[in-house]
């Protein structure tokens, strides 16, 4: 995969050790990452403009209702509507896997995670998201609703840098 710039993935994982291992693995593949330990903290980071990820990776070690509402909250914001969100679930928890996909996660991976499978699924989700945005891009870009200062803060968001526009519609 040849991205022109590093794609940033927000890791949401309650286990500090697991989050560090996932972050190291992603960095070894050329991705950048940011870690938070709850979906509530991730929502705050996104809404406050602290991070502009290209994808969110949520470990569902202890799935709860908030985790299943998380994609709905993210995709309700037009800026994040096309954001791919992937879930990592326990292999024996098929009910959580089905519920995760139904609630808006673009894909899932089961634990224990094979690195090659994880990389393939991440690349597929990122390419699908970029493809959707390219197909749905309007003929004339919408006028920017952001000031020059605000646009400068978006430089960590690779999709914004590429298109200066977020596509409508989810994945």
Q: Structural domains in the chain?
A: 8-163 (3.40.50.2300)
- What's the distance, Cα to Cα, between the start and end of the chain in Å? 20
Q: Please check whether residue 126 is in contact with residue 54, taking contact to mean a CB–CB distance below 8 angstroms.
A: yes
Q: Please check whether residue 135 is in contact with residue 158, taking contact to mean a CB–CB distance below 8 angstroms.
A: no
Phi, psi of 55 (to 5 degrees): -160, 155
How many whole angstroms separate alpha carbon 8 and alpha carbon 31? 6
- The per-residue pLDDT string of the chain (171 residues; one tens digit each, 9 = 90 and over) reads 454 457 899 999 999 999 999 999 999 999 999 999 999 999 999 989 899 999 999 998 777 778 889 999 999 988 888 899 999 887 777 788 888 888 899 988 888 888 999 999 999 998 887 655 544 444 334 434 444 444 444 444 444 434 433 333 333
| Torsion sign over Cα 130, 133, 135, 139 | negative
Give 69's contacts (C-beta < 8 A, 6+ positions apart).
103
Q: For residue 161, how many other CB atoms are within 10 A of its CB?
A: 14
């Amino acid at each position: 995969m040849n991205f022109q710039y590093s794609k940033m993935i927000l890791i949401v994982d309650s286990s500090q050790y697991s989050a560090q291992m996932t972050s190291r693995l992603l960095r070894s593949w050329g991705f950048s990452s940011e870690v938070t330990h709850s979906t509530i903290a991730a929502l705050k980071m996104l809404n406050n403009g602290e991070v502009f990820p290209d994808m969110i990776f949520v470990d569902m070690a202890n799935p709860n209702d908030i985790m299943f509402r998380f994609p709905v909250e993210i995709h309700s914001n037009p800026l994040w509507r096309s954001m791919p969100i992937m879930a990592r679930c326990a292999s024996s928890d098929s009910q959580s896997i089905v519920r995760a996909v139904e609630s808006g996660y673009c894909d899932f991976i089961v634990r224990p995670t094979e690195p090659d499978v994880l990389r393939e699924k991440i690349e597929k989700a990122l390419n699908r998201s970029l493809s959707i945005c390219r197909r749905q891009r309007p003929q004339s870009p919408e006028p920017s609703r952001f000031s020059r200062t605000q646009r400068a803060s978006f430089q960590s968001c690779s999709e914004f840098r590429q298109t200066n526009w977020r596509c409508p519609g989810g994945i």
